[in-house]
């Protein structure tokens, strides 16, 4: 007898196997129990006939509680009515652990309750589908950069300086010195690009977001490529090719999961190059036409992003935002000093900004001025300024937020379900 995972069970038709897992659900009649057993890779129906097993074992099956740990041994049979195409006719059931009253029952629960029980909620089919899509997305991202000549370069988590503004920093005590949890690996990737040409980092980033929205986590994962000798156009080309490639790959490889999530994949099949590219000014015109009051100079928030996304059937690339609403490191457009050579990519269907990036300021004096104007401590940036002292070149990059991208691909309204253990304002457990 062999220990087998449910996902491989099709290779074992007619043979005896053991599945080790947990009781997902069951129903019984006088002579028969149907046990739905999950093992993490899938769910298989196991049929226990009274005549096939000792009497006490049959009785034990009737008393099994939801999420009890069991091992089930029996013969695999084809069953066209089962969602996986197979079932097990059981010869033996062993109880490993009888679960106490499992809190998440098949009835509806509120989201706060489910979030409090996130460590258990992970066992449900919908969460499985989302987190498998997440894993596939991360695989596709790594494959993309690894196969396009980018070097994976890990950025530090403890940092001495702010990258994305000082209002949402998490401060920690670093042996008596002030340190911050990183908001972005970008500044380190700029050093990496000057050393290796094309690099990317992929890791957790932190922002003390004090607003409760469906798009903001305090801890989220970001992938950040950075390339030497790239300008804004090169950067937009890369972002476009990257997003089109990874989305197509996830849709192709995770059909089953997207079906579980009832995602309308026709909305993802349109995600092909070229994506529309518009200037901030044009985006502003669209918003005004739609009755939204946004003044020139203001950054877009969630509502603006949603309205803009309604205009397009694929992600829209918006470039050249007003300099004043963007970070200190953005390069000013030589053709218009009021705007920065920056880019955002907004996902369709209201899933918000998934990419932020642009061309970086590469002139030492201009960058020093910007650091001063933004009230940032010069000492903390002296190493960063070195990059403009020793062979400074044009360069650009961007950051893609994993959770918003997973939310978009899965069609999940709130980012809290797109990461195994979300960290939000007001949520630090489990």
- Least distance between ligand 4AD and beta carbon 285 (Å): 22
Q: How far apart are CA 151 and CA 321, in angstroms?
A: 30
* Contact between 226 and 193 (Cβ < 8 Å): yes
* Complex with ligand 4AD: residue 125 or 231, whichever CB lies closer: 231
Task: Name the one range near ligand 4AD by CB under 6 A: 116-124, 129-137, 262-270, 396-404.
Answer: 396-404
Burial string for 400-419 (b: 16+ CB within 10 Å, else e) reads: bbbbbbbbbbbbbeebbbbb
CB of 118 or CB of 207, closer to ligand 4AD = 207
For ligand 4AD, which is the closer residue by CB, 92 or 298?
298
Per partner kind, with CB cut-offs from 5 to 8 A, the member of ligand 4AD, Mg ion, none near residue 217 is ligand 4AD
Q: What dihedral angle (degrees, nearest 10) is formed by the CA atoms of 160, 165, 166, 172?
A: -40
Dist. CA 420–CA 406, nearest whole Å: 12
Q: How big is the CA angle at 15 (ends 9 and 17), to the nearest 5 degrees?
A: 60
Q: How far is the CB of 189 from ligand 4AD (least distance, A)?
A: 6
Question: Residue 315 interacts with Mg ion (CB under 5 A)?
Answer: no
Among 357, 367, 395, 406, binds ligand 4AD (CB under 6 A): 357
Min separation Cβ 46 and ligand 4AD, Å: 41
The closest alpha carbon to 406, from 223, 148, 209, 238, belongs to 223
**Cα dihedral 402, 405, 406, 407 sign:** positive
- From the list 26, 17, 128, 23, the residue with the least C-alpha distance to 74 is 17
* Residue appearing with tokens 């029980």: 117
Cβ(168)–Cβ(210) below 8 Å: yes
Does 353 contact ligand 4AD by CB under 6 A?
Answer: yes
Collapsed DSSP state (helix, strand, coil) of residue 106? coil
- In degrees and rounded to multiples of 5, residue 75 shows phi and psi of -100, 135
Look-up of token digits 């449910």:
6
What residues between 184 and 243 interact with ligand 4AD by CB under 6 A? 184, 186, 207, 209, 216-217, 220, 222, 224
Beta bridge partners of 18: 3, 73
Dihedral angle of Cα 169, 174, 176, 179, to the nearest 10 degrees: -30
Q: From Mg ion, ligand 4AD, none, which one binds at residue 224 (CB under 5 to 8 Å depending on kind)?
A: ligand 4AD
Residue labelled with tokens 């062993």: 94
Structure tokens at 185: 């690996």
In 3D, which of 390, 398, 399 has the Cα closest to residue 195? Answer: 390
Segment near Mg ion (CB under 5 A); pick from 23-31, 55-63, 244-252, 348-356: 348-356
Q: Which residue is nearest to ligand 4AD (CB)?
A: 356
Tell me how far apart the alpha carbons of residues 181 and 199 are, in angstroms, rounded to a whole number: 21
Total residues contacting Mg ion by CB under 5 A comes to 1
Per CB under 6 A, 251 contacts ligand 4AD? no
Would you say 52 or 349 has its CB closer to ligand 4AD? 349
Which CB sits closer to ligand 4AD, 103 or 394?
394
Place of tokens 């029952």: 105
> 354 phi and psi, to 5 degrees?
-105, -20
Shortest distance in whole angstroms from residue 263 CB to ligand 4AD: 19
Residue 103 or 204 having the CB closest to ligand 4AD: 204
Does residue 403 bind ligand 4AD (CB under 6 A)? yes
Q: Which stretch binds Mg ion (CB under 5 A): 3-11, 18-26, 94-102, 353-361?
A: 353-361
Could you give the CA distance from residue 308 to residue 322 in angstroms, rounded to a whole number? 17
State which of positions 166-195 bind ligand 4AD (CB under 6 A).
Answer: 184, 186
State the minimum distance, in angstroms, from the CB of residue 24 to ligand 4AD. Answer: 32
Q: Mark the segment that binds ligand 4AD (CB under 6 A) among 41-49, 174-182, 347-355, 421-429.
A: 347-355
Comparing CB distances to ligand 4AD, the nearer of 18 and 392 is: 392
Q: How far is the CB of 28 from ligand 4AD (least distance, A)?
A: 45
Cis? peptide before 312, omega within 30° of 0 = no
Closest CB to ligand 4AD among residues 144, 398: 398
Residue 356 sits in the site that holds Mg ion (CB under 5 A): yes
Q: Which of the ranges 110-118, 260-268, 375-383, 400-408 carries the binding residues for ligand 4AD, by CB under 6 A?
A: 400-408
Which stretches of the chain bind ligand 4AD, using CB under 6 A?
163-164, 184, 186, 207, 209, 216-217, 220, 222, 224, 353-357, 397-399, 401, 403-404, 415
Interface with Mg ion (CB under 5 A): 356
């Amino acid at each position: 007898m062999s220990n087998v995972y449910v996902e491989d069970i099709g290779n074992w038709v007619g043979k005896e196997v053991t599945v080790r897992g947990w009781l997902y659900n069951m129903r019984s009649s006088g002579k028969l129990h149907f046990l739905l057993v999950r093992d993490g890779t899938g769910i298989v129906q196991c049929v226990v006939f009274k005549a096939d097993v000792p009497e006490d074992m049959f009785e034990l099956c009737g008393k099994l509680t939801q999420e009890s740990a069991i091992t089930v041994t029996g013969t695999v049979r084809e069953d066209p009515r089962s969602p996986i195409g197979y079932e097990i006719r059981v010869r033996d059931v062993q109880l490993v652990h009888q679960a106490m009253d499992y809190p998440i029952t098949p009835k509806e629960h509120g989201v706060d309750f489910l979030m409090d029980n996130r460590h258990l909620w992970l066992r449900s089919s919908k969460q499985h589908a989302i987190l498998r899509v997440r894993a596939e997305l991360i695989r596709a991202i790594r494959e993309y950069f690894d196969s396009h000549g980018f070097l994976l370069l890990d950025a530090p988590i403890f940092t001495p300086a702010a990258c994305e503004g000082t209002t949402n920093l998490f401060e920690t005590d670093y042996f008596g010195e002030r340190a911050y949890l990183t908001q972005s690996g970008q500044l380190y990737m700029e050093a990496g690009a000057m050393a290796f040409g094309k690099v990317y980092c992929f890791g957790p980033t932190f922002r003390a977001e004090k607003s409760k929205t469906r798009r903001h986590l305090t801890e989220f994962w970001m992938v950040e490529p950075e390339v030497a000798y790239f300008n804004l156009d090169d950067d937009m080309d890369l972002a476009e090719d990257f997003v089109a490639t990874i989305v197509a790959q996830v849709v192709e490889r995770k059909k089953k999961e997207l079906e579980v999530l009832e995602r309308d994949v026709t909305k993802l099949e349109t995600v092909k190059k070229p994506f529309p590219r518009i200037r901030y000014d044009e985006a502003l015109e669209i918003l005004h036409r739609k009755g939204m009051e946004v003044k020139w100079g203001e950054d877009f928030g969630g509502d603006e992003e949603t309205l803009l996304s309604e205009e397009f059937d694929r992600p829209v690339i918006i470039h050249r935002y007003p300099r004043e609403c963007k970070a200190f490191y953005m390069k000013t457009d030589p053709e218009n000093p009021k705007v920065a050579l920056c880019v955002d990519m907004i996902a369709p269907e209201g899933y918000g900004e998934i990419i932020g990036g642009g061309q970086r300021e590469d002139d030492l004096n201009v960058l020093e001025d910007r650091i001063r104007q933004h009230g940032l401590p010069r000492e903390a940036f002296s190493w960063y300024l070195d990059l403009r002292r020793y062979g400074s070149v044009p360069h650009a990059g961007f950051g893609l937020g994993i959770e918003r991208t997973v939310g978009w691909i899965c069609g999940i309204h709130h980012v809290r379900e797109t990461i195994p253990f979300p960290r939000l304002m007001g949520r630090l457990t489990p």
